[in-house]
Structure 1
């Protein structure tokens, strides 16, 4: 059995997209992302576009309850189909799985007194 990171993880995907296919990629990603967000162990995700590149590059940040849950989903038939749909739009990319050490959120704004 593989040794997985304990506790919550943040998966970071770097996706290089074929020039001219950005809108199509964003639409397909949103559809797939909405499905992934329904996974019980998924804690949310964000798609950002890297504006410092000379070609279309996006990053996905997606949080999971634990690495084992992410890996199980990653290998599922459902997600293999997701990757198949994205493949023609991508020209390259990379993925890292990172254990969340600290997750600082802003404090809620206090109400006026």
Structure 2
């Protein structure tokens, strides 16, 4: 009983911090992508920056998903649980789509590091 009271007090702060971290990651990734786009003279065909941006979105989503999971501890009603479950489900689906997109983009346009790794593996 005492632990539940402590959790009800602490979890909103922890989830708030996790949500803020997710927003900061998105903001930094957006700024980096815009600068990279400007430096690359708006070459939209260069996939490396797109992949890096999508990776940052995936990382941000992981922090936000962690916050949603923690919120399940302090749910008081069935209505709150249904809404929380729906939001969590949507974030999981979005996360899977982002990871799938990253994998497909890497197969289509491997980065220089991928080329180096492939060259090392073929040499062994």
Range into which the TM-score falls when normalised by the shorter chain? under 0.3
Q: TM-score by structure 1 length?
A: 0.28
Larger helix fraction of residues: 2
More strand by share: 1
* Structure whose alpha-carbon radius of gyration is higher: 2
- Give TM-score scaled by structure 2 length: 0.26
